[in-house]
Amino acid sequence: MNIECPLSTDTGEVVRLGHGSGGELSQKLLRDYVYPHFDNPWIAQAHDSATVPVKNDRVVFTTDSFVITPLFFPGGDIGKLAVYGTVNDLAMSGARPLYLSCSLILEEGLPMATLARVMSSMGEAAAETGMQLVTGDTKVVERGKGDGLYINTAGIGTIEHPMAIEPRQIQPEDLILLSGDIGRHGMAVMARREGLEFDGPLRSDCAPLHGAVEDLLNAGIAVHCLRDLTRGGLATALVELAESADKKFIVRETVIPVCEPVKGACEILGLDPLYVANEGRFVAFVPAEQAELALAVLARNPVSVGSRIIGAVARGNRPGVILQNALGCERLVARLPGEQLPRIC
């Protein structure tokens, strides 16, 4: 098993796996090598997708790449992951997903049966979410230089409500809702990759989230911000949002749900479930007076039936995330410097 030391930040002058973790190394790569060359208000938002004006419409645009290994895992595969991941990035801005692109990078020698299976799954996921695949590209690289199959997608959606759902809208005393238990995706992929077995089934939470978001909006919930929990897990997502919003979050560790198989696997491997990737979970920041209604709405959707309130936005103070344990002790939550589990999305 290949697990990098999470404390290492010595990058030298080459790209490392940790640069793709979504943690501190990823932020450093963006901050030092990408952002300085593209100075505009949309990239400065550092959100999952960008909301850009097109005549009188608000169009949301996002892109992502998927390099997961293995290609098939309990609860999903790279094709389903590519569609759901793109849909979820659009949904986190409150957008209706509409159009999808797909670029395939295939390695010479990949069985056609494998490609057919992935494309079939991708087609089913697109139909399920209402996305239309409208453009794409295919490249083939030499044997040994592609790891089978990589997928790049881009997605376009439209915002059909008056709200702006983004980190800058997070307000003091907002409550923080988590849509279900954490850590399933990362541990399911790792177990399949390494051939490990644990007590109880481990299946990825890979799922589209646009329906749950649409339910919130239709119920009149004034959603201030949303973020899906992918690389870096719940902890990294909260730290990113606290920094972007310039707010302090207080989170109660005892109410964060972790299923027994994930908890057991993390204990055996010495991993923190707060940092393990998810592909079907999100956090929502909503006004305190609407939190119970939002929970009731989310409980009616299968992908968010396990939703609960895990914390709140504090007034004043320095930005950051404070985690309270069962004894009332507090600790500051930080980004993971490197990568706990590489190649999980």
For the chain (length 345 residues), average pLDDT per consecutive 10? 50 75 81 84 77 83 95 97 98 96 94 95 96 91 92 96 95 98 95 83 95 98 97 94 95 96 90 95 98 98 97 90 91 83 84
Please report the pLDDT score of residue 175 as a whole number: 98
Please report the pLDDT score of residue 7 as a whole number: 44
Please report the pLDDT score of residue 12 as a whole number: 62
Please report the pLDDT score of residue 10 as a whole number: 52
Please report the pLDDT score of residue 30 as a whole number: 83
User: Which of 196, 190, 114, 117 has its CA nearest to residue 344?
Assistant: 190
Give the C-alpha separation, 205 to 193, whole Å.
Answer: 17
Give the C-alpha separation, 275 to 327, whole Å.
Answer: 22
Please report the pLDDT score of residue 6 as a whole number: 45
